[in-house]
Amino acid sequence: MDSIWQERSLDLCLVPYGCIATGQNVGMIEIVRNAVTIATVQTTQGARNGAFAEDALFEWLKNKCPFQEIHCHSLERFVNSCAGYCVATYVLGIGDRHNDNIMITDQGNLFHIDFGHILGNTKYFLGVVNRERVPFVLTPDFLYVMGRVKGRTSLYFQRFRDTCVQAYLSLRSHHRLLVTLFSLMLLTGIPKLSSAEDMRYLRVALQEECTEDVAREHLLQQIALCEDKGWTVQANWWIHNMIHH
pLDDT in tens, 38-57: 999 988 876 566 677 889 99
Long-range contacts (CB closer than 8 Å, 24 or more residues apart) made by 65-71: 65/106, 65/107, 65/108
- pLDDT of res. 20: 93
CATH node for 2-231: 1.10.1070.11
Q: Is the pLDDT of residue 207 over 90?
A: yes
Average of per-residue pLDDT values in the chain: 89
What is the pTM for the complete model shown? Answer: 0.91
The DSSP 8-state label assigned to residue 107 in this structure reads T
* Percentages of the chain per state (helix, strand, coil), in multiples of 5: 55, 10, 40
CB proximity list for 92: less than 8 A, separation 6 or greater: 115, 118, 119, 202, 205
pLDDT, tens only, 70-80: 789 999 999 99
Domain spans, the chain: 2-231
Q: How many helices (H) and strands (E) does the chain have?
A: 10, 7
d(CA 114, CA 112): 7
- pLDDT of res. 212: 95
Q: How many CB atoms lie within 10 A of CB 133?
A: 16
Q: Is the pLDDT of residue 236 over 90?
A: no
Residue 62: φ, ψ to 5°: -65, -35
CB proximity list for 93: less than 8 A, separation 6 or greater: 118, 119, 120, 121, 201, 202, 205
